[in-house]
Amino acid sequence: MFGDAEIVPGGTSGNAVQLRSDATPGFGGVDYDVPTTTFAMFNTLATDYKFEADDTCGGGSPRFQINMVSPSGTDTGSIFVYIGPPPAYTACPPSVWLNTGDLLEGVLPIDTSQLDGGTFYDPYATALIKYGNYTVTGVQLVVDGAWFPLFLDGEQTGLFDNTNIDGDIFTYDEGRHVTSKDDCKDGGWMNLVTDDGKPFKNQGDCVSYANRGK
């Protein structure tokens, strides 16, 4: 996780990852560990998502970023895959869990403008022809739309769960356990959970848990 991102309770599978964009640092996201593959072999991109009562999608956020490099290594950039109803990708309903479905299938356009020959809205089938042999080097889920005029309070917050990255499901419930109280310091407590998958309320809660020998 990076920026303003933390594990919170209340996801569709237990916990969720909360990504927030506000004045500082202006973004929140998750950088996923993905196996090396080509774009043509990268088959699925989906997630459950929910916005707070006064939030929605907008300003190109939230989005998946698929980091790409050409076979020659001379063309690098990201394909952006936006969450929300096209073509504006705004007006996502708040306070309800939804699922994107597979964002790499069907008629939804994707943004290939960072790559040579790309456009703001490319049909997925066209993007496969152009970039199918490019290597996928990473994937991020990002919220950074606080600048968008729609957000009068200068903040955009979304919850995400059951994120499907090329067939790997991320539930945000495992793998971030405390090994010592030092793990809790410098904001580390926000990325950790108890042995039964519950997030910590603050650094002190995490340190106390570690000191009890859990």
Tens digits of pLDDT across the chain (214 residues): 999 999 888 888 888 999 999 988 999 999 998 989 999 999 999 999 999 888 999 999 999 999 999 999 999 999 999 999 988 899 999 999 999 999 997 778 999 999 999 999 999 999 999 999 999 999 999 999 999 988 888 899 999 999 999 999 999 876 466 778 888 888 878 777 777 667 788 999 999 998 887 5
pLDDT recorded at residue 10:
84
pLDDT recorded at residue 176:
62
- Give domain limits for the chain: 2-173, 175-214
Phi/psi-derived region of residue 89, left when phi > 0, alpha when psi is between -120 and 50, beta in every other case: left
**SS3 (DSSP) at 13:** coil
pLDDT recorded at residue 196:
65
pLDDT recorded at residue 125:
93
pLDDT recorded at residue 197:
62
180: closest CA among 155, 210, 136, 146? 210
Within a 10 A sphere around the Cβ of 45, how many other Cβ atoms? 23
86: closest CA among 100, 72, 68, 71? 100
Whether 196 and 173 have beta carbons less than 8 Å apart is answered as no
The pTM of the full predicted model, rounded to 2 decimals, is 0.81
- Extended strands (E) in the chain: 2-3, 5-9, 15-21, 28-32, 37-38, 45-51, 63-69, 76-82, 98-99, 109-110, 122-123, 135-143, 156-165, 168-170
80: closest CA among 126, 141, 125, 161? 141
pLDDT recorded at residue 14:
82
Q: Please give the CATH number for the structural domain made up of 2-173.
A: 2.60.120
pLDDT recorded at residue 19:
97
In sequence order, which residues have a C-beta less than 8 Å from that of residue 117 and are 6 or more positions away?
Answer: 130
Whether 19 and 163 have beta carbons less than 8 Å apart is answered as no
pLDDT recorded at residue 177:
67
